[in-house]
Structure 1
Amino acid sequence: MTHPAIHLASGSPRRKLLIEQMGLTCQVVRIQAEEPMDQSRHAADLAIDLSELKMKACLDQKPELAKYAWILTADTLIALDDEKIGKPDDRQQARKILSRLQGRTHQVISAFSVYSPLSKTFISDLESTDVTFSSMDQMEIESYLDTKEWQGVAGAYRIQGCGGKYVSSLNGTFYNVMGLPINRFYAILRLLNFSN
């Protein structure tokens, strides 16, 4: 059975890779959307809000897609001590984030929204994974920052890269930490009768 393409409204190469690993065709759609980090919101609610905000922005900015395209938006954030942590703006901010994460457990929350051109509506869902970091000394933090993996990712690390060697345990799905819980995403596609 062949499937239509997933139109990914995200600049994340990791999400594109995961979709393609599922055996699906992925087309990247560029949109502009604000990502306000409201610390007063519960992390799960905020992640869903950000994913849905991106979906609404995509449908507003690319109305022609709503006629025929399956669209995916997503947002991943880190929760530590009830604080929401997004993407670092610079190396100094990435250093602070990694210093706080090391030796502790945090939650990685990935929310996503799937738009169906059949029903002309979208469904949102999310998954949370507990990630425990081993302790890092200052040299290890600086060495990791030199890899530049911290750029453009929530929590300032990539589990699928050099950052993986600092993860001592994982309670949940690996793919969720990468930015898309593919099993849960696939379940939503099935629910929406995703096929030609």
Structure 2
Amino acid sequence: METPKEVQFILASVSPRRQDLLRQAGYHFAVEPSCIDERAFEQNASDSQQLSKQLALAKALEVARRYPEQVVVGADTVVDADGRIIGKPDDAAHAEQITRLLFNRPHKVITGVAVVCRAKDVQIVEADISTIYPRPLTEQQIAAHIASGNWQGKAGAYGIQESGDEFILRVDGSYT
């Protein structure tokens, strides 16, 4: 991958939402997906904040190994429902199960972010925690959400930016 001078960093993520947010903020970056096994981290995590930070760092480090002179940003989002870590659903049935769990109570959304530059020995890792207060969903809303496919590839089986906000009463913390 060529990294032109106007590129400020490499984003170790294929998430369209992350790319949109960074572009809206005026950043110029290249995208290089990481090749890590997220499931391996999920099995060993003690809490959601630790997991989000570990995944963000692992993604950034994996890409930084390939581009040691570049600044690499990794990020990962996990959902915490009463201490239970909720990742991305495996299929529609799993997405429905997660949706029923989360839209019945407040839950936390934790995003870990890591900035790495191997050549300069830089490694910064932080996490942002937001509490989501959802609206109770009807059976029709749950069915429509699952049928939409908007749950695919998203921690907690929803993205607040893709009509998930109509299901939310309030967000304490960062919307992004």
What is the TM-score with the length of structure 1 in the denominator? 0.81
Residues 1:126 and 2:131 are matched in the alignment: no
Give the letter aligned to residue 66 of structure 1: P
The match for 2:20 is: 17
Query: Does 2:11 correspond to 1:8?
Result: yes
1:31: how far off? 2.4
Aligned residues: 170
Distance 2:33 2:104 in 1: 37
1:117 deviates by 6.1
Q: Hey, what's the Cα distance between the residues in 2 that align with 1:58 and 1:4? A: 15
**CA deviations over 1:99-122 (Å, ceiling 9, x no partner):** 001131000000010123662322
Given that 2:74 and 2:115 are in contact with CA atoms closer than 8 Å, whether structure 1 keeps it comes out as yes
Listed one character per residue, the Cα deviations across residues 147-177 of structure 1 (whole Å, up to 9, x for unaligned) are 11100110001111111100011100101xx
SS in 1 for 2:142: helix
Matched residue, 2:56: 51
Q: Tell whether the 8 Å contact from 2:13 to 2:31 is kept in structure 1 after alignment.
A: yes
Matched residue type, 1:57: E
CA distance in 1, matches of 2:10, 2:96: 34
Corresponding residue to 1:42 among 40, 43, 47: 47
Contact 2:131 2:173 in 1 (8 A): yes
Question: 2:102: which partner in 1?
Answer: 101
How far off its partner does 1:123 sit? Answer: 0.5
5+ residue gaps in structure 2? none
Structure-2 residue corresponding to 1:192: none
Distance 1:46 1:148, change over 3 A: same
Contact 1:7 1:70 in 2 (8 A): yes
Aligned residue identity for 2:36: A
1:167, 1:134 → 2: CA distance? Answer: 5
How far, CA to CA, are the matches of 1:102 and 1:39 in structure 2? 26
Cα distance in 2 for partners of 1:27, 1:118 equals 18
- Alpha-carbon RMSD across the aligned residues, in angstroms, is 1.7
Residues 59 and 40 of structure 1, relative CA distance in 2, 3 Å threshold: closer
Give the Cα separation in 2 of the matches to 1:157 and 1:39.
Answer: 24
Q: Distance in 1 between matches of 2:45 and 2:161?
A: 30
Gap runs ≥5 in structure 1: 176-196
Q: Deviating runs (4+, > 3 A) in structure 1?
A: none
Please tell me the residue identity of whatever aligns with 1:162: S
Deviations along 1:63-93, one digit per CA (max 9) or x if unpaired, are xx212x2210011000001100011011000
Tell me which amino acid in the other structure corresponds to 1:82. G
Sort the Cα spacing of 1:134 and 1:74 in 2 relative to 1 into closer, same or farther, 3 A: same
